[in-house]
Amino acid sequence: MPMLKTGITLALALAATSALAQPAQLSPQKAELRELFKEMIETDTSITTGSCTLAAERVAARMKAAGFKDDQLTLFADPAHPKEGGLVAVLPGSSKTLKPLLLIAHIDVVAAKRADWERDPYTLIDEDGYFYGRGTSDTKGLAAIWTDILVQHAKAGTRAKRTLKMALTCGEETNGAFNGAEWLAANKRELIDAEFALNEGGGGGTNGKAVAAGGKVVEQAIQVGEKTFANYQLEARNPGGHSSVPRPDNAIYQLAGALKKIEAHSFPLEFTDTTRTYFKVAGAGRGDAVGKAMVALADNPADKAAEAVVNAEPFLHSNLRTTCVATMLDAGHARNALPQRAQANVNCRIFPGHSVEAIRQELSAIIGDPGVTVTALAPLRPSPPNPPLDPKVVEPARKLVAKYFPGVPLVPVMANGYTDATFLGAVGIPTYGVPGMWGDSDGNGVHGLNERLEVAALYTGRDFLGELVAAYAGK
Give residue 19's pLDDT: 31
Q: How far apart are the first and last CA of the chain?
A: 38
> What's the rounded Cα separation, in Å, for the pair 181 and 81?
14
Burial of residue 244 (CB within 10 Å: 0-12, 13-18, 19+) is: exposed
Residue, of 88 and 287, whose pLDDT is higher = 88
Output the average pLDDT for the chain. 93
For the CA atoms of 276, 278, 282, 283, what is the dihedral angle to 10 degrees? -20
SS3 261: helix
- Find the mean pLDDT for residues 421-434: 97
Name the fold adopted by 228-376: Alpha-Beta Plaits (3.30.70)
Percentage of the chain lying above the pLDDT 70 cut: 95
Q: Report the DSSP pairing between strands 337-338 and 372-376.
A: unpaired
List all residues 6 or more positions away from 58 whose beta carbon is below 8 Å from its beta carbon.
Answer: 12, 14, 15, 39, 40, 43
Nearest to 85 by CA among 154, 180, 14: 180
Q: Report the DSSP pairing between strands 452-454 and 130-132.
A: antiparallel
Nearest to 103 by CA among 22, 168, 18, 160: 168
pLDDT tens sequence across 244-265: 999 999 999 999 999 999 999 9
Residue 12, pLDDT > 90, answer: no
Cβ atoms of 348 and 377 within 8 Å: the answer is: no
Give residue 210's pLDDT: 82
Query: Taking the model in full, what pTM does it have?
Result: 0.91
- Find the mean pLDDT for residues 425-435: 97
Residue 33, pLDDT > 70, answer: yes
Q: Report the DSSP pairing between strands 228-237 and 341-350.
A: antiparallel
Per the DSSP assignment, residues forming a β-bridge with 452 are 132
pLDDT tens sequence across 47-69: 999 999 999 999 999 999 999 99
Residue 272, pLDDT > 90, answer: yes
**In CATH, which superfamily holds the domain spanning 21-227+385-473?**
Zn peptidases (3.40.630.10)
Residue 397, pLDDT > 70, answer: yes
Give residue 140's pLDDT: 98
Give residue 207's pLDDT: 84
Residue, of 459 and 5, whose pLDDT is higher = 459
Residue 15, pLDDT > 60, answer: no
Nearest to 179 by CA among 393, 420, 372: 420
SS3 214: coil
Burial of residue 185 (CB within 10 Å: 0-12, 13-18, 19+) is: buried
- Find the mean pLDDT for residues 172-194: 95
- Find the mean pLDDT for residues 310-315: 97
> What's the rounded Cα separation, in Å, for the pair 427 and 36?
31
SS3 253: helix
- Torsion over CA: 125, 130, 134, 140 (sign): positive
Give residue 214's pLDDT: 78
pLDDT tens sequence across 94-147: 999 999 999 999 999 999 999 999 999 999 999 999 999 999 999 999 999 999
CA distances from 473 to 392, 395, 429 (A): 11, 14, 16
Q: How many helices (H) and strands (E) does the chain have?
A: 13, 20
Residue 473, pLDDT > 50, answer: yes
Residues of the chain with CATH 3.30.70.360: 228-376
Q: Report the DSSP pairing between strands 130-132 and 125-127.
A: antiparallel
Give residue 13's pLDDT: 33
> What's the rounded Cα separation, in Å, for the pair 33 and 39?
10
> What's the rounded Cα separation, in Å, for the pair 68 and 113?
36
Give residue 20's pLDDT: 34
pLDDT tens sequence across 321-343: 999 999 999 999 999 999 999 99
Residue 22, pLDDT > 70, answer: no
Q: Report the DSSP pairing between strands 3-6 and 241-242.
A: unpaired
CA distances from 261 to 266, 292, 365 (A): 10, 32, 10
Question: With bands split at pLDDT 50, 70 and 90, how would you rate the model's confidence at 308?
Answer: very high
Give residue 132's pLDDT: 98
pLDDT tens sequence across 351-388: 999 999 999 999 999 999 999 999 999 989 999 999 99
Question: With bands split at pLDDT 50, 70 and 90, how would you rate the model's confidence at 76?
Answer: very high
Residues of the chain with CATH 3.40.630.10: 21-227+385-473
